[in-house]
Amino acid sequence: MPSEGKQPLFVLVRPQMGENIGAAARAMWNFGLDRMRVVGPRDGWPNEKAVVMASGAGRLLDEAQVSDTLAEALEDTTYVFATTARIRGLTKPVMSPERAMALAAEKLAAGEKVAVLFGPERAGLENEDVARANALITVPVNPDFPSLNLAQCVLLTAYEWRRAQGEISHERMEIARGGDPATGGDIEAWATHLEERLDERGFFFPPEKAANMKTNLRNLWSRMPLTRADVQMLHGALRQLIRGKDN
């Protein structure tokens, strides 16, 4: 299914290996991007190795726009980012992928057409390519080893695009099958059951501290993300412990 809404074009400039084109397509589709342009692929087009590597993202390759020159690929765009690890004497804004994709979202929402350039595997974009960009994207990598694989760079940028859409959940609770959250009634029944059994065994001593001890226990259960299955297991474990003690 095609992705909905406005999104940046990802332009692969003179990619050298079909496998990397396919991996880039797969990385794009991982994050809901499906608008690829390919400029002057070294091994021609279509490329069977790209199709194999793309796996379930082969549709991106079928629909990719292929051109001989970068000028042709950018003819209808209004704002262009170039990904590069090297700043080679050109005065341009330099942004992190996070900031660049946030800006891309703003420009797309305003009706502009945004492209992101990714250079060939061996040496990246040439100065002539970078000169066509409005801004640069540079990843804060190890300065002693700044080179990123083409698909890695695409993946990282696509991830930041997804983040810019507010579609990243930074934390969540994975609920196992049958693991519905325990209700207040479930917790109350468990707390009462435990307190009764502990009271029988003389746990709440001395008497003047009993109320505070029970409050601390209740607070313990309220801090725990218990499921109904958890509570049932606790009931069963307590019954078994008491049964064993009585025997």
- Nearest-Å Rg of the Cα atoms of the chain is 29
CA 175, CA 167: separation in Å to the nearest integer? 20
Which pair of structure tokens corresponds to residue 43? 């091994």
What pTM was computed for the model?
Answer: 0.72
* pLDDT (tens digit per residue) in 68-102: 999 999 999 999 999 987 767 789 999 999 999 99
CA atoms 102, 165, 21, 45: torsion sign: negative
**Contact by Cβ (8 Å): 24, 151:** yes
Q: What pLDDT, on a 0 to 100 scale, did the predictor assign at position 3? A: 44
Q: What pLDDT, on a 0 to 100 scale, did the predictor assign at position 237? A: 93
Q: What dihedral do alpha carbons 95, 142, 157, 164 form, nearest 10°?
A: -60
The DSSP output letter for 121 is T
CA 141, CA 154: separation in Å to the nearest integer? 15
Which residues in the chain come in under a pLDDT of 50? 1-3
* pLDDT (tens digit per residue) in 94-132: 999 999 999 999 999 999 999 999 998 877 899 999 999
Q: What pLDDT, on a 0 to 100 scale, did the predictor assign at position 2? A: 39
Report which of 67, 7, 2, 8 is spatially closest to residue 37, judged by C-alpha positions. 67
**Contact by Cβ (8 Å): 150, 22:** no
The DSSP element (H or E) to which 137 belongs, if any, is strand 135-137
